[in-house]
Amino acid sequence: MAPSLFNFKELRRRSKASFRTERSTDTSSDASNGTAPTTGSLTPPSIQHESDLALNLQLKDQAPPLPFARPPLQPYPNGASNRHSVSGMAGLGSPVQGGRAQSLPVSQYSPRIANVPDNSWVYQKVLLVYGTIGDPSQQSLDGILTVSRLDDSFPPTTWPVCDSHFKALVYMMPGVNRIRFDFASPKLANSGSTNPIHSSYLTIHMLPPINAPPLQLAILLAKDSPGTFDAVPARVEREGNGLETAIRKFRMAAYLWQAFTAEQMWRNKLGRRVFRFEEEWTMGTANQRDREQGTLRSEARIHVIRTERTVAELRDLDRAQQNPSAADQGALYGIAMDAVKDYFKPLPGQKLYVSVLLLDSHWDTASRTITGHAALGGGAGGLQLAVFGSHCLQSYPTSFEEVVPAFSDCTPTDTNYVGNDCNDAGSSWEAANIGIGAHLHETGHLLGLPHRESGIMLRDYVTLNRTFIAREAYSTRTRSKGGPVGLEDECTWHRLDCLAFRNHPCFRLPNDPVVNANEGVQAWAVEGGNVVVTAPSGLAYVEIYGDGDDVCHHWIEYPPPSENGNGQRQVSLSETELKSRLPEHQRKGGLKLNVKSNGGGELTIDDFGRLCSKESQFKLPSSVPGMGKTAYRGKKLGASQMEGSQPQELVFTSALRNDRVLSRIIFYHGMAMDGLEFVYDDDSRQLFGKRSGKAGGDSFEMDIRRGEYITGFLVRAGFWIDGIQVLTSLGRRSPMYGNPHGGSAHTLIPPRGYNICGVTGSFGPWVDGFSVLIINR
């Protein structure tokens, strides 16, 4: 008899054993619903998670252990499910992470993180966290919060807890970051033991946004600079004032910029997005242990750039600039820009964002002025640049351990060695505010921000310290003794700044939807006294300025782009609706708009009332009296301010007569647009601009057999019109005639329901103003 392939009795015996032992061993759900606990796992945690999974099969026939009783888990206050801690009983250890160990009561004094949920994703090197201990309304506790990584790849750091509130910085590494927060206070039993019992755990995922251009950091020195900065003798003795110290301090200041900005974006519900830095593999400087042990890390790179000027030249130049009647107020900024361009050597079309620290700034005790210093931000061409002096650098922290001491140091500013900038830096911590905060202000200008009604882009950076500490020290600026700091007391980025950052290239995240490459915005006067605003990349927001407004106080926001689209591409605006958003005393005055697109483009309408008035419309001639259509002029591109510039308006013959068809367009151009000639099927012609530039021009043929017509223009324009491309009803595009890299791109496509019926603008030596005429279909 052939042997049986199956032993049914043995199979049945094993099935019964398996049924008895393979009950659910996950007790977490039992604890949450109050049911009776089941038995523990047969496989020890270390085996279950680290060994061969086949070991479970080898243990099936073993008898299950006897169940043991355990106290149920206490519910988490306020749903803070990421808090794990042990009871206050001596000798008990911390809970086993990742295993199924006996659960113990959660401490009510475990730190509660308020701004970072468990398993969050972040995109920066340094993360700001804040929260509370227990219930601050019931009990006020002071103590120490210790932040540590479970893998010990960054040393533990301590942060003060004041009135049960804390703020801390956490160093992020790419990938999974498992962080532990321990609270200790002399008012609590056993909290000072070697086994902390008031603990919370947080898992954070960090993904570097390498798809975004970096904000470069650079220190600029004169060619004969000794590489030192102003500092009092005690500071020089303790930490030095050389180039290496300057690099550490500037890097730490940049990390504070990053942590502050990401937190502000998160509070404005725009994602935890922020600019990134170029990094290099170097000795870690963010903590003291790295410096002691020589640990290498990927840290923000500080470029060291030398100019062709001497220290004396830079300081003498700055003295001249401080004279209000000086011929060139921005000479030092220009020198910095030339040095940065020579160092980075950007390629054509490449855009750089560089924030520079001027190391040779110096407090001149004789003249009581800071020389070799400039506080400016902006850009020209492909370089966006911010510069700021080093006169407050001695007060900056160099590592995590020094952040709270730096923002709490009440040492008076000794003007025998260092300056008191604008009399707002009377103590060391206030000087740190001015230096770090004002440099961030100029970096805001670098990123395209104007001045605001509040926040960093006003002068609120004098309270930047409050973002990183829970209790403020005595202030010489306000003559106040300080005290606890709440979120409402902190410095901020204005809401409009955050909206601008949402669409800035430096703030793009890996999971952002692809935005239309055309960043342009265009405005069109239409019937009813309205203005239709269009943007291929979608509209972001509209800033509204009333009479006398230097900064924006009122604005309209539009939803951000979705994964499947570019957001709202067209909106209709009326003067009545816009003025209803202004205070009563401004509603009879003029109205100015600044419209921003999701692609980063903008359009300024200096006089909205004029654009939507009868000046922007006219009647087309018609053979039947009173039956002519109304044509509307779009918002003009170019300044129309070249020498000899004269206006011109051209209505297509094909828009006036049914027996004419546009057959081709001739472009006259060189490195700018000289003119356009529209040729019809009967060889009649209309010329806009001049027949100059390339001899004979370049011709673009229309497919008249298929009824092809012009649906829009892609225009590159700045002060004048650099280049023009035609878009047609068949989806075709002509080449870009003129300078394809000049100015910025603008797409002139009429709003829905309208067709192009002509062009309008102006020309001098070449075309310096251009728009289109539209009619309702």
The CATH number assigned to the domain holding 182 equals 2.60.40.10
Mean residue pLDDT of the chain comes to: 84
Mean pLDDT of 543-564: 89
Q: Which tens digit of pLDDT belongs to each residue from 354-374?
A: 999 999 999 999 888 899 889
**Of 160, 182, 206, which marks where a domain is finished?**
206
| Token pair 């932040």: residue | 147
Task: Map residue 420 onto helix, strand or coil.
Answer: coil
Q: Looking at the predicted structure, is the pLDDT value of residue 118 above 90?
A: yes
Tell me if 750 is assigned to some domain. Answer: yes
Q: Is the pLDDT of residue 273 over 90?
A: yes
Q: State whether residue 560 is helix, strand or coil.
A: coil
Residue 368 lies in a domain: yes
**Stronger pLDDT, 313 or 257, i.e. the higher one:** 257
- The Cα 85–Cα 93 span in angstroms is 9
Output the pLDDT for position 141. 92
Is there a domain that residue 91 lies in? no
Whether 325 is covered by a domain: the verdict is yes
488-492, 626-630, 678-682: range with lowest mean pLDDT: 626-630
> pLDDT grade, residue 64 (50/70/90)?
very low
- Domain assignment present for residue 495? The answer is no
Q: Read off the pLDDT band of 382 (50, 70, 90).
A: confident
Range in 395-409, 612-626, 678-692 the model is least confident about: 612-626
Q: Where are the alpha helices (DSSP H) in 268-371?
A: 288-293, 311-321, 331-344
Asked if residue 678 has pLDDT above 80, the reply is: yes
pLDDT at 57 over 80: no
Dist. CA 735–CA 723, nearest whole Å: 10
- Whether residue 297 is found in the same domain as residue 336: yes
Domain boundary among 206, 239, 274: 206
Could you report the per-residue pLDDT of 202-226, keeping only the tens digit for each?
Answer: 999 999 999 899 999 999 999 999 9
For residue 33, pLDDT beyond 80? no
Q: Determine contact, residues 535/598, Cβ cutoff 8 Å.
A: yes
> Does 307 lie in the same domain as 201?
no
First to last CA, the chain: 93
Give the pLDDT band of residue 247 (cuts 50, 70, 90).
very high
The b/e string for 561-584 (b: 16+ C-beta within 10 A; e otherwise) is beeeebbbbebebebeebbeebee
pLDDT higher than threshold 80 for residue 157:
yes
* CATH at residue 717: 2.100.10.30
pLDDT at 319: 59
- Residue 393 within a domain: yes
- C-beta of residue 517 within 8 angstroms of C-beta of residue 349: no
Residue 351 shares a structural domain with residue 280: yes
Sheet of strand 302-306: strand arrangement:
302-306, 215-221, 352-358, 383-389, 376-380
Q: Last residue of some domain: 206, 235, 270?
A: 206
User: Residue 353's domain spans which residues?
Assistant: 215-468
Q: Choosing from 263, 299, 442, 708, which is the catalytic residue?
A: 442
Q: Tell me the C-alpha distance between 602 and 543, whole Å.
A: 11
Whether residue 112 lies inside any domain: the answer is: yes
725 and 760 co-located in one domain: yes
Residues 46 and 185 in one domain: no
Angstrom CA distances, 219 to 343, 358, 574, stand at 12, 6, 49
Q: Which residues of 440-471 are buried (b: 16+ CB within 10 A; e: fewer)?
A: bbbbbbbbbbeebeebbbebbbbbbbbbbbbb
pLDDT (average), residues 262-277: 95
How many helices (H) and strands (E) the chain has is answered by 15, 39
Most confident of 466-470, 483-487, 606-610: 466-470
* 640, 757: one domain: yes
Q: Is residue 602 domain-shared with residue 637, that is, in the same domain?
A: no
Lowest mean pLDDT among 45-49, 253-257, 377-381, 696-700: 45-49
Q: How far is CA 403 from CA 105, 396, 610, 748, 755, in A?
A: 34, 8, 53, 51, 61
Residue 404 and residue 264 share a domain: yes
How many domains is the chain built from? 5
R_g (Cα) of the chain, nearest Å: 34
Between β-strands 630-633 and 767-776, what pairing exists: parallel, antiparallel or unpaired?
antiparallel
In order, the DSSP letters of 54-90 are: THHHHTTTSPPPPP---PPPPPPGGG-TT-----S-T
CA angle 472, 473, 478 (to 5 degrees): 95
- CA 422 → CA 431, 438, 444, distances in Å? 10, 11, 20
In which band, very low, low, confident or very high, does the pLDDT at 191 lie, cut at 50, 70 and 90?
low
- 193 pLDDT higher than 70: no
Residue 19's pLDDT band (boundaries 50, 70, 90)?
very low
Residues 199 and 248 grouped into a single domain: no
Does the pLDDT value for residue 21 go beyond 50?
Answer: no
CATH of the domain at 559: 2.60.40
Q: What is the pLDDT of residue 564?
A: 63
**Tokens 């239309």 found at:** 516
Please indicate, yes or no, if residue 348 is contained in any of the structural domains.
yes
- Identify the H or E element spanning 664: strand 662-669
**Residue 64's closest CA among 46, 38, 45?**
38
- Residue 292 is among the residues annotated as catalytic for this protein: no
Closest CA to 80 of 116, 112, 47: 112
Residues 195 and 276 grouped into a single domain: no
* Helix segments in 538-644, DSSP class H: 575-579, 608-611
Is the Cα torsion angle 510, 512, 517, 521 positive or negative in sign?
Answer: negative
Between residues 91 and 110, the one the model is more confident about: 110
pLDDT of residue 18 exceeding 80: no
| Whether residue 566 is found in the same domain as residue 442 | no
- Do 335 and 225 lie in one domain? The reply is yes
Axis-axis angle for helices 311-321, 331-344 (nearest 10)? 140
Take residue 174 and report the two structure tokens written for it: 């790419």
Tens-digit pLDDT profile for residues 513-539: 887 777 889 999 998 889 999 998 889
Q: What is the pLDDT of residue 403?
A: 97
